[in-house]
Amino acid sequence: MSSISFESVSREYIVGGESVKALSNTCFSVEEGQFAVILGPSGSGKSTTLNLLGGMDRVTSGNIIVDGKDITTLSVRQLTNYRRVDVGFVFQFYNLIPNLNCYENVDIAAKLSRNPLNAKEVLNAVGLGKRMKHFPAEMSGGELQRASIARALCKNPKLLLCDEPTGALDSTTGIMILSLLKQMCRKYGKTVIVVTHNTSIAPAADRVIHLKDGCVIKVEDNTLPLSMEKVVW
């Protein structure tokens, strides 16, 4: 599990000599084992936040503390190791390997990890016990996203980062996937961060970080988060 703290984090890009401030002095934290949502309209800085947290991009200034360690000070090699060991990613379009079956897609991630969970056990936990031999082309969108959640969990990372995980799914399947993510967050004790522009998910999260124009405009805590099934999409 992992706690996260963004301390005055800014990310500025220079495009054609012009500065674009994707994030400006953002401060927020997420506690160990929380299911947190980062919410904001297009261009508000959600993907930038996730990329920085996942070690895929570097801050312009500020510090990001994960589990007591400042990841902004890591060398390239240490950052690669952080991405590989400490972070599990779930993407909107699944990113499964087409010529590996469902079990192999998950097991390959387990094999890259130092302390993996058992691939079959995790596939059973996400409800894919009967789809292990299916190739991605033989699975529905919801099943593909379950497989990608299993792949991320199997590495046994500290953090699970999910970028619009329901963006390609219908509302019923989307709720099932978010419900599964929340269950898995509790079952395996992971800190889960979901980035979305879908405001209806907010009442089901433990913490909601609202972004606008690269700034954190509000952080909400739900002491009694709604069960995902009660969310009105």
Which residues form the interface with ligand ATP (CB under 6 A)?
13, 15, 20, 22, 40, 42-48, 197
Q: How far is the CB of 162 from ligand ATP (least distance, A)?
A: 13
Minimum CB separation of residue 19 from ligand ATP in Å reads 10
Closer residue to ligand ATP, CB minimum distance, 20 or 112: 20
Count of residues in the chain: 233
> Smallest distance, Å, CB 197 to ligand ATP?
5
Helix (H, G, I), strand (E, B) or coil at 180: helix
End-to-end CA distance of the chain: 29
CB of 85 to ligand ATP, least distance (A): 25
Q: Which is nearer to ligand ATP, 25 or 47 (CB)?
A: 47
Between residues 28 and 103, which has the closer beta carbon with respect to ligand ATP? 28
Cβ neighbours of residue 119 closer than 8 Å, sequence gap 6 or more = 103, 106, 107, 110, 150, 154
Residue closer to ligand ATP (CB basis): 155 or 210? 210
Burial status of residue 217 (CB atoms within 10 A of its CB: 0-12, 13-18, 19 or more): exposed
